[in-house]
Structure 1
């Protein structure tokens, strides 16, 4: 091999990551361009993106950096964070994530690259994990039903408030009671949500509940300063007064505390973070939401249920349409779209790994150490605010200044109340040695307290911080799943068995329109488990999170340049939260301008259901704008409605490129019409993957956009979450984005309440997007967008001879996704879009998006990460399926006996001794050479959705069924 005589600087391949992220190579690109019918990639972009909105320059970002360089720099930032011993508590705790779960779930692309389990036949593993989570929550809370997670405890409490209002038919009150010992970040989010729902918040001591006229109430258990009280009489009095009640409970505390269901609560919410999920400066963590059976059809979020497949076997699925309440559009009371599935699975597996006995040991140890600490402080004359506790003590009449100084010396974080009190919260990582240091900090080093001696006294005297009437008497986690997997070998095999039942990006492309399932590179994922990012408390002093703040600021600067906005708020921790936060910022701005009466929100008829749901939550009245025959916004209808409502027009919500997958040429005009009539322009960022480097919403008329970091910017979907939905805003809206009561944000109005529990949402996953942008650089980002558009047009061109392509732009191209119209085929053959979706599983693919935005269609988005080989494999499968449909049309196969309506085919089907079908077993299970070479087996046959809705079971199967 000849020596390479290039200069050393030329040998540093900074483009290496770009080439690895972008699927098609140069030869593949050229071949695809020929198929599409254009000579060059710039020519395709010229035909696709309207000239009046093109950026016309490269983004002002650095050139691409190598993976090693990016990780070195991130490590440099991480070292600027200071991981102290943290006793702040306040809903966030140090925890031990079992290594077997960290390596095989959190760090495993088989788990984190999967999509939301809308196609249950290829998601049985995740669904079982989420069913475990629901069972765990039901057992610990004592409630009859639980959902599969929400975003955080604060927003779960806000959802509970809304549920209390719509479910309480006996109360006419518009007021909601919040006990004054509820976590401050929860109260902050409640204030925001209540204001736009038109609710009054009554904040008072819990004892005042029965004497107030309210429709619902929220109590904390234990209270934020540690007090454990028997809530049963309060809850009983509330029931007698027709007040619905919600209890925000500590999940670890419930191991030892009487379950809220037994106390009489209607709803129980909380956070499962301390079940093995790192604090991560605020998230992501899986909140829980549990309630009674009578409220099951009003529960927000997703519920996993047990149904049957076509052979009568048990099969799991997302049960009922409560999983996405936004299908009710402007009539919705919630816009929940994202859960925290990956984190819920981790918390559930933590419970599976430890079981009842293990959790009892952990919780008992936490409580015993807290009791030893309390007893030592009492002996030294320190006053405690309460005589009861689980893991938290509040010290009164303490010399906060001296204690703070000693704590800093020992690298310890305590909680400091505004009145001078000190809070100390212990967790599963606390040791006896830690208590000795805590005594040094809290009472001074001259003390003679001995932890072993204090422990002997506590045991001998039977001292406890949990009152007898509050001590748990019931069993929990009795199902065999929580008793079987005690050794790491067994746990490892269980996790692998579940993983094998799920299709993810590790198997094939996931061609979901509007969901952008692209590469989540390993190098982007590496930093999230670094201790300097994972183990920072969200309310730690700012000087301990300097690296975090710099990384967040740099990411915000990247996004400002990419979007054309002037400020980024990182707080919203899902796309739907971003929608809501953006509309709230508009409403706050208009109120500050004396135009708070503006409440009309214009929304195109093609919009995603979260848009009108978010508008309704922001107390806006939705007016629908029609689309023309080509799927574009009808500008004349927009003019008429904007003019009609000009005195009360607040905003329009646009998606760009359109929900139909087209760059609409009239986008500037649409924005101008709204601005001319006094409104603001919200541009949904769901399709930002078609814009980066080519055009910017802030340039062509947007005032605010949310950005799906879990789509365009590579945070993985995690089987249904985590997500992040930060918003970009123009400068006039910047003061009105969400602030935070615990960690105030500079430059934002102090009265601008929070929308999420922490100031920066799910901060621990932000390094993923930072790394993606840094390693791609300006040129790489633009190329990614161009290739996403090329891949979509290539699919449209290859398939247009076999299926109608529903919408195209003025020059005959699509944007980054295309819509296949199945309705004519259904009319001629009886084969539906669902049949095609299920048949694709036999070919080894997840289905495209079904029946959105147009019923009876499939929306396909290939992303830039897929190579031509994989895209051709998908197109070949779709063409083969069209030939199968033709066989039904011609009568070769009966309408009720063909591989499409019988799909998907399982391994059990091949062993069926009574195979009597019109097609062969081989054709059913191995319809292509690719399927023969690398077969992914659906775990169950087609699941019966109707049966599951009518017979809702959202807990683990009974022990008898388990034995069978």
Structure 2
């Protein structure tokens, strides 16, 4: 075995396992399996034009050399990004812990109670600080959250407003520039007219449905928005406020002056800037809007024993159920970052946050006073952490950069300085020295901070926050370390067993890929620093774009979208821009197969398109005749086809090139959903099948961890004719010559975690990438054949092969009284997370093992499924007291004095011998979804409140 080969460590099956696996599948070689799986006319005939693989040690040396090219200036730029301290206990026990970063989205609540509690803490923190009664479990970034707020308020227009076609939305000129750009992107297809202006002179006419304010303003001024909100209400205008969360420790919460929605980022709560992300945004609103809130909401419910349990609430709002009628296409959050931000509040508590907020504010006041002594004019009357100074910007920049300091240069005569948690007295003296030198004066040393405030009394916070016990119990490192470990033990992650979720590609997130994320030279960089200061980042991002171009066969890539759903939206907006540039603004019909992801129709509607669903045939493939008929019917208005390849049914459809040709012949573009790209890399690609644009899930195929439901990265890759439309940034130049406006807040989206995918590609190299795909197909077909005779696979290719995933039909078991959910819950007792339940076909399981799982783990999973099949055979309709219906079984249940069930404790907890070696115990029994939705509780309310609800 080559000990210096990363591929050997990443790919699960050993060389000696291959013959056994091929024998079970019934092929002579892996080449034969590939030949029988992928249609000949789309298989690549040559290897990818990528360099050789680096060993793990070579990669770590390489990435450290690149990191050294990044200049570690102190940045006081602000604009929504600030240096912060990540408490080491959180960095070590959350960010760097595979128990937290390898977990999946908590759809299976019984094995996600730890993460769910951490997210409930996050929601409670957001509600307390914003003064709002309801918050979701995070969004992608502040700009996205603001756009979602606008879209929600647009949907919430009154019947009279909709009748009168009220489509104007007021945007304060104080809004962050990146937020304004994202608002423009989202407003265009909605038909919303943005009106930007001074909130102090806004006319409150009746043709507006909503408004958004920045608090404090983009350059730090703190305004009293109370009168504005009151007048808005009088004119039926709903108001969103984008608020700096740390400032809310000292400022009146927006909920207390009447805001309808409050959004922002929690980056300041211990999350590294990471050259733009990932960071957890927050979204808080009124309880009456709970069914319109985008993203996920964590709620309190109970299990079958009546014990308190947590779950994702109100999932009926989500796009996988509502599809084109969904409130949003957002199908992810920033869970790992939300957990970190929530734990920052847990660790510091209310008094700790007040200390940090007051230190930042007093540092800013002290700096302002000394700069005025040096002869500078500071123009902000009221502020939290940011000063606006009249100065020769060119001269000041020259001096500042010579001392490795970045400010924000507003114009030739105006400079902004934003102070942060990490700003020490020495840092303040360095800032003062820059201004003194620029003015040609002796510097003034400070040694103490002013004990005062410049926040008007009417705007000072008087209400308490974070009074729940969780925010007042874990302030020592020992206490927090144990609390984090207690929560982690409640969750089943990849560090325990395979997570075979179809369409989700839960592969290894290798340690060597993850290590750079913790390096200061990558983590502590502001996204708006001059590009010449970040040569290392620029080299990584350029090369990653090139790597993805080669893998997809396309000409250009944008890394900006920071989720798969955002990638879908970005790709469709690029297609929209292309049609508009050709003078074909009428092209607004999007064809979507019935089997598509729910995000597809939701994204199409967001992009201003009308969805026309095409049929699938009895084999689960796209009905080509139906597609041709609808393409020709709508040929004058056809904008695009959204297609997943291989299909969501786990099949390489042989008609794919015919399908893409039909779309092109009728004037449309082909968008390929990249969710199943793990079956393509090195063997075929989107360009070869005839697509024009695709998004890639870097958190699937390219090894960024799912993080319990985020971070995600969803870059888009496009053919040559679409490159000019790739998205831009209003602060740092990105995108094409005729770029659409921004998709994400940061120029390169969640740049920090792009290092992971860069490392994945560098360490696998051309041969490793292709072998990873080949083994993903091998593992899936091995499971398919091992389960043959016990379970029916719903769809296969023309030669009977699955792609990288398969759909197992569980509907026949209803005659035994067993539902697919019972199988999913019983798998917990065997130590496994369930495969994807009832998607894309109700009553089925979609299984995807990925290439990272070894033969022993594949066999354990197959043994578990076969054992469950024998349990199904023993079940009878009407019997609700069997081992499947009672699953999962908790330790409390198994150790109780009473046991009156018609099967043994051993059958419940240890049905197969391997389980005893590594038993996972769920912390709750099956949760009551309906109760949780009827009694929605989304914060850490005291237990008495839970009892009252019951």
Q: Which residue of 2 aligns with 1:285?
A: 279
Secondary structure of the structure 1 residue equivalent to 2:468 = coil
Distance in 2, matches of 1:263 and 1:447, equals 45
Secondary structure of the structure 2 residue equivalent to 1:215 = strand
Give the superposition deviation at 1:329. Answer: 1.4
1:739/1:748 contact within 8 Å kept: no
Residue 613 in structure 1 maps to residue 602 in structure 2: yes
Q: Which residue of 2 aligns with 1:660?
A: 649
Deviates more, 1:340-349 or 1:547-556: 547-556
Q: Flag structure 2 segments of 5+ consecutive residues without an equivalent.
A: none
2:794/2:808 contact within 8 Å kept: yes
Residue 223 in structure 1 maps to residue 217 in structure 2: yes
Match of 2:918 among 934, 948, 964: 934
2:204/2:232 contact within 8 Å kept: no
| 1:697-708 matched pairs, under 5 angstroms | 697-708=686-697
Q: Which residue of 2 aligns with 1:957?
A: 941
Residue 255 in structure 1 maps to residue 249 in structure 2: yes
Distance in 2, matches of 1:390 and 1:171, equals 37
Q: Flag structure 1 segments of 5+ consecutive residues without an equivalent.
A: 1-10
**Residues 961 and 613 of structure 1: CA distance in aligned 2, closer, same or farther (over 3 Å):** closer
Distance in 2, matches of 1:850 and 1:485, equals 37
Distance in 1, matches of 2:349 and 2:831, equals 36
Give the superposition deviation at 1:957. Answer: 3.1
Distance in 1, matches of 2:865 and 2:317, equals 29
Distance in 2, matches of 1:158 and 1:361, equals 32
Q: Which residue of 2 aligns with 1:7?
A: none
Residue 407 in structure 1 maps to residue 400 in structure 2: yes
Q: Which residue of 2 aligns with 1:329?
A: 323
Q: Which residue of 2 aligns with 1:441?
A: 434
Q: Which residue of 1 aligns with 2:534?
A: 545
Q: Which residue of 2 aligns with 1:771?
A: 759
Distance in 2, matches of 1:453 and 1:552, equals 42
Match of 1:179 among 168, 172, 177: 172
| 1:560-959 matched pairs, under 5 angstroms | 560-745=549-734, 747-749=736-738, 752-826=740-814, 828-889=815-876, 895-958=879-942
Give the superposition deviation at 1:517. Answer: 0.2
Give the superposition deviation at 1:210. Answer: 4.6
1:301/1:322 contact within 8 Å kept: no
Secondary structure of the structure 1 residue equivalent to 2:291 = helix
Give the superposition deviation at 1:453. Answer: 6.9
1:250/1:270 contact within 8 Å kept: yes
| 1:200-599 matched pairs, under 5 angstroms | 200-212=193-205, 213-321=207-315, 324-396=318-390, 398-418=391-411, 420-444=413-437, 447=441, 450-452=444-446, 455=449, 458-459=450-451, 462=452, 464-599=453-588
Root-mean-square deviation (CA, aligned residues, Å) is 1.5
2:170/2:211 contact within 8 Å kept: yes
Distance in 2, matches of 1:850 and 1:781, equals 29
Deviates more, 1:912-921 or 1:133-142: 912-921
**Residues 684 and 343 of structure 1: CA distance in aligned 2, closer, same or farther (over 3 Å):** same
Distance in 2, matches of 1:128 and 1:453, equals 42
Give the superposition deviation at 1:911. Answer: 2.2
Residues 22-46 of structure 1: per-residue CA shift (max 9 Å, x gap)? 0001121210100000010000000
Secondary structure of the structure 2 residue equivalent to 1:699 = helix
Residues 789-846 of structure 1: per-residue CA shift (max 9 Å, x gap)? 11111111111201111001000111000110001111x2110110000000000000
**Residues 336 and 174 of structure 1: CA distance in aligned 2, closer, same or farther (over 3 Å):** same
Give the superposition deviation at 1:759. Answer: 1.1
Residue 50 in structure 1 maps to residue 39 in structure 2: yes
Residues 664-708 of structure 1: per-residue CA shift (max 9 Å, x gap)? 000000000000111100011000000001001112201000000
**Residues 93 and 128 of structure 1: CA distance in aligned 2, closer, same or farther (over 3 Å):** same
Secondary structure of the structure 2 residue equivalent to 1:233 = helix
**Residues 679 and 376 of structure 1: CA distance in aligned 2, closer, same or farther (over 3 Å):** same
Give the superposition deviation at 1:427. Answer: 0.3
Distance in 1, matches of 2:371 and 2:946, equals 50
Q: Which residue of 2 aligns with 1:8?
A: none
Residues 873-924 of structure 1: per-residue CA shift (max 9 Å, x gap)? 00000000000000014x8xx6211010000000011122232111111111
Over 6 Å off, 4+ runs: 961-964
Give the superposition deviation at 1:211. Answer: 2.7
Give the superposition deviation at 1:232. Answer: 1.1
Residues 172-230 of structure 1: per-residue CA shift (max 9 Å, x gap)? 41010000010000000000100111000010001133534310000000001111111
Deviates more, 1:135-144 or 1:556-565: 556-565
Secondary structure of the structure 2 residue equivalent to 1:633 = coil
Residue 83 in structure 1 maps to residue 72 in structure 2: yes
Distance in 2, matches of 1:806 and 1:454, equals 72
TM-score, normalization by structure 2: 0.98
Give the superposition deviation at 1:378. Answer: 2.3
Distance in 2, matches of 1:25 and 1:12, equals 12
Secondary structure of the structure 2 residue equivalent to 1:624 = strand
Distance in 1, matches of 2:309 and 2:118, equals 13
TM-score, normalization by structure 1: 0.96
State the number of aligned residues: 942
Distance in 1, matches of 2:413 and 2:261, equals 33
Give the superposition deviation at 1:962. Answer: 9.9
| 1:121-200 matched pairs, under 5 angstroms | 121-169=110-158, 171-172=161-162, 173-200=166-193
Deviates more, 1:906-915 or 1:879-888: 906-915
1:310/1:942 contact within 8 Å kept: yes
Residues 381-405 of structure 1: per-residue CA shift (max 9 Å, x gap)? 3222221100001113x11111111
Deviates more, 1:942-951 or 1:791-800: 791-800
**Residues 427 and 322 of structure 1: CA distance in aligned 2, closer, same or farther (over 3 Å):** farther
1:376/1:454 contact within 8 Å kept: no
1:480/1:959 contact within 8 Å kept: no
Residues 545-597 of structure 1: per-residue CA shift (max 9 Å, x gap)? 11101001111111111111111111100000000000000010110011121
Secondary structure of the structure 2 residue equivalent to 1:783 = helix
Distance in 2, matches of 1:106 and 1:882, equals 38
Distance in 2, matches of 1:952 and 1:64, equals 51
Distance in 1, matches of 2:474 and 2:866, equals 45
Give the superposition deviation at 1:332. Answer: 2.7
**Residues 617 and 735 of structure 1: CA distance in aligned 2, closer, same or farther (over 3 Å):** same
Give the superposition deviation at 1:419. Answer: 5.6
Give the superposition deviation at 1:65. Answer: 1.2
Give the superposition deviation at 1:538. Answer: 0.3
Give the superposition deviation at 1:171. Answer: 3.1
